[in-house]
Amino acid sequence: MSTTTHRRPTIRVGYGFDSHEFRLGVPLKIGGVLLEHDRGLGGHSDGDVLLHAITAALLGAIAQPDIGALFPPSDPKWKGADSVVFLKEALNRVRQAGYRIANVDASLILAGPRIGPHAASIRTRIAGLLGIHADCVGLKAKTPEGLNLDHAAVAHVAVLLEQAKSPRRVPRKKR
């Protein structure tokens, strides 16, 4: 019988997906940024489809429970919650697992509003929340041509995690 020692991976990849339907009378938040639009995204929390997908990708990369298991929509505690809370929990779990974020790449699919004029502020906000440089956050937006998704927003996210460097051990002084 052979025994194999499994090493902890030095990198991990996570993929996240989320979608929400547009609704009247709801503010629109994407990537933690409030955008001017006639409709927002419905959801039990603030409906931030991009932060939800990033959270899902981070949790998936470290094989943790998904966002719905950690923050169940059936729990009134999360009604209208700021999605930053979910993201911060995922970040804490990533750090506890011994990893750090190398980069994030996101694609949004929505008919409107146009993301281009807001892309820099969304990237900057996400980078700040994740503690990485803005040039480590990719963001693209596409219209849902032929997909029959004109009344929803969809986010796809990939994250790359790398093993965090262990703090140097200071040698103990001999007595």
pLDDT tens, position by position, 31-65: 999 999 999 999 888 999 999 999 999 999 999 99
pLDDT of 133 reads 97
Distance of CA 169 to the CA centre of its chain: 33
What CATH number should be reported for the domain whose range is 11-163? 3.30.1330.50
Which alpha helices (H) appear in 16-158, and where do they start and end?
Answer: 49-61, 67-70, 84-96, 119-130
User: Taking CA 30 as the corner, what is the angle to CA 26 and CA 35, rounded to the nearest 5 degrees?
Assistant: 60
Q: Which helix (H) or strand (E) holds 106?
A: strand 99-109
pLDDT tens, position by position, 78-108: 887 889 999 999 999 999 999 999 999 999 9
Domain ranges of the chain: 11-163
